[in-house]
Structure formats: C-alpha cells, structure tokens
Homo-oligomer: A and B are copies of this chain.
Amino acid sequence: MQFTKAEEYGMFGVLYLAEQDPNKVVPLSEISEAQNIPEKFLAKIFQSLSKSGIIRSHRGVRGGFTLARDPKEISVKDVLETIQGPYHLMKCTEDQRNCTDGKSDEFCALRELILEAERRLVQVFEQHTLADLVEWQKTKSVSQLV
C-alpha cells in the first residue's frame, strides 16, 4: 500500500525539470545528483516517461531531458500512471476475474467500495499539475489545494 521508489523518483525527477528554464536540457547525472537518485534507475524511469511523451530526450554531447509539454499540461496522474500503470488497490479492481472467491460474475460490495476509493485517489492526482506543485513549492503554501 505504498508508491514504489520508481514513482517517487520519477515525480522528483520530473519536478526538477519543471523547476528549470524550459529550454535547458538537463542530463541524468545532474538530476540524479541533485535529487539523490541512483542514475541508472532514474534512466529506466525516464525511458518510459519519454516514450509516453511526458519528457523529451536529447542524445549526444550536452544531451539530456526536457519536459515535452508545459508543466500546466502535465498532471501528477500522468506521471504516476506512466511509471506504474493504473493503480488498483486490489487485484479484483484491476480485473474482476482476480476475485479471491472466484465469484467474478457476482456483485461484490467490498469491490464497489474499493473502486470508489480508487476514484477518489485518482481525482487528487489528476486535478493537480506539475505547475501547481512548483508553484506551491515556491510559495510554501498549498492554499489552492482544495
């Protein structure tokens, strides 16, 4: 019941990019040092973020990464789901055939509750963008959180 390091590192890495001058190409080495993240691990995470079009990679000398879009257009959900896939609190909310009882066709009250919890969780993450987080960090305030 916790986010993985990959998600955590991915968020910090992407936030680091969002804080920079949009035109600055930032190499992995800089991010991993600044944010205290194992470089090769971050490389793997950034690969998937790159493939899904959240960040853009630049190879060669003075290469690195930039955000592919405006931070206002990247939700926290975008980042988290790219790294880990949609979060499901139970196997049965991912695919009902994973029901413990094997009663995959029946109504399950617990499953409905979990689905509702998942919806609430997603809401938080899709309502806020990288730009929001950078803004909060600057003002040290989350007054806009609601």
State the A residues within 8 Å of B (CB): 1-4, 7-9, 11-12, 15, 35-37, 76, 84, 87-91, 100-102, 107-110, 112-114, 116-117, 120-121, 123-125, 128, 132-134, 136-137, 140, 142, 145
Contacts and interface: CB of A to CB of B under 8 A. Distances in A.
6 contacts: A108-B137, A112-B136, A112-B145, A117-B124, A117-B125, A121-B121
A35 B91 contact: no
* Copies of the protein in its oligomer: 2
Nearest to A137: B109
A12 B100 contact: yes
Given A2-B87, A107-B140, A109-B134, 12 more contacts: A3-B89, A3-B114, A15-B110, A36-B101, A109-B133, A112-B136, A112-B145, A113-B125, A113-B133, A116-B145, A117-B124, A120-B120
